[in-house]
A and B are shown apart, each in its own frame.
Chain A
């Protein structure tokens, strides 16, 4: 909502406050002033000029040489506007004048001809092109014939004004009108509100003699007022009206349309004007549309209607989409002489539905959607009659044609001063409360420690006691509220075990050298299930904004890999990222099964300390080590089993299992996938934190530090390449019995010195007895058993 302060002063005394100060007061009281716009900013030395003569420039087709009377003198100005003509009153920027954007006017020579100033368009005065009347959109603006030559344009045409741009919240529909803003400002400044005085002369003929009215849908249209004005002259509106509309962000058209828009802005009540003759039938019938009925609206679009749409008809065909937009078939034009003015109350839900269905929002529909003041419908119609008789020379027929079943009593809210104070934690005196309610013009009766408040119909947002609490508080001043802390029983507060584990994972990952990433949950249908361990049905948005963000992800990896590629494309060759976040799987319920996952993606060098000769590229085991460390931290036993997954290297992929359940996957990207993503060797891992966190960790009880030494024996084996170290380790463990404390691989060799298809793996075995120092003989006895078992399994001892 754009509020011209000059216009506002018609209704309320603004106490000559500087606009910024007024804006601040309005903001602090509850309606945010987003901007304070000085309409004359950067303008000076601009006067009314009269074009005495206008001839073509001999050297330039598009230029005219004008002799312009600017009051003090008649001077020559070159003008390139297509609509310049002798006899016009125009806006002249004199030499020395300033225009918005810092432009300064100087005497100049154009193609050899002197030019002492500039004849201006409205755009050149800083008015947005879309607000300039169509007739002047492509050229200069022409002032009325009675404009005083030489007078100051800025003051004479109300450009010395400031506009407050209000950012309205949906509850404050009352402030979508100048009168509504006036009531608000009046309450803030403790000033009275002055309503427009409506007086006009009526003709003897009655409106009802020319127009009949039928309302078929009283629930959607409980109040309809029509006035008939005849013998009007459709023409340009006076300057003051045009300027006020432009200040309010509305483009002037002609006096009839401008009057309806002016009253829309003034009262917040949408009006519509029909050309009476084009109505043809002298009847207005409001009803719901028939299926597939057609109307061409004023914006030139033909619309196919549905049963939900309320339409205004002439008894036969639609002439307007009720409360949203008029029809082209009854549009007011230059030739119109008699008009019907409609002021109606349409139910908000009906308008919202129609507006949404046709994707058509207008100043009218946005007000109806939020609910207009039922007590302004009739005054707005009267105000229109007044202005049309004043500005269009119209003759207003007596009375109105009216249908009225609208309830419009004031809402009564009962609230006690104690309630107000206890909700606020304040001690506001009753007198102060009554004063505030009086400023708001809420009629209030106070008795028995109870306030009975009648809320004016313009304030439909006030329904319950708490709404009154807010009104009192905002006008009393939120700065006056003290600061206290809740006096509730204090509980310790804290993180749940799950939340604690999530933080442990985060700290561990960062200690391991990974950066935490965050990616989007919405992805393309194509990548939604890539790398997902459990494919479920896709979950698509009903109306995605793009295919790229159309479907909920079932794996974190596609976006995490995109982030890796983003970095490598910027020549950051070593990237180590992790993310925790939800994947979205179809479940039993209508809601999805949202499972929190952990994902890792690494590429490039893991260790880079080259000047000391230490350099290690990422590989499967780097990431496996991280997962093993995490398992140790969380005290869970994870196992890795060879597996395959689309997009991963078939020889370098393992599923991560917990108690036999697959909870994750780890692997190197398939070379084709790497190529497609423009990546070098990249290792990824994803696992379900939900699964990982399922089990409660056992209490930590310390194990005694060994009192006896352990003894280590090594064994080097030659194995077939297909035999996995893990298999051998299991064999060693089972043969080693309880004295075998630990088994580790300490060497792997697959070189030329071995038979083809063979590899050498060396294990280090640690023996330990918590009860005593083991003797060599005891260890040898067990170790030989282990070796025997290995040989029996087909392993050869490496000499």
Chain B
């Protein structure tokens, strides 16, 4: 019993400690970003890795989600005889919720895990130490470009996701089920306010920073945790951890942002 309590205490403490380190990393990154030299090329390369390389995944999942939504909304709305709301339903759920969340989760799975593994390996093979000894700040050189790339890529990917998802919904509703094109489009245009777009944008920006930051911190600070002494196995631990943690962070902050903005 006492042992269990003790365990809970330990978990809470490590949790708090890691959260603190992650936010500390954010501050360090912001500080480093403010100072020259500015690494446009490194950032571009990271945007390519996080953003461009995730594009096909985002397009495929976006179309699929849009089609699924079209299907579900159609069968529900048909019961109430209000299929003219189909466009509005699909558009609002994609732009407000599913677009940012699904995109963030996809990026976590594809790029986030790779970020953690890369930084973790660099840490245990002393590459991070080597950078520091060369008087090159690892925060600036390794972490900051990734966080910036996340900040830029995730909103852009979300925009792509949103548009292809709307197309997917259109395809199912208008092409497959024969909903009038005019009512689909007008319903959508009437329903979606600037507020909805802004909510989606805010979410995707926050998710972009959050997931890259968590994934970077997990790998970068690997040596400070138990996994640090476990070599390759430790890298796999922190990678799994990072994926789970950033997914939860996305879902939870999605709720928080939704609650704050409405």
A and B: interacting chains:
no
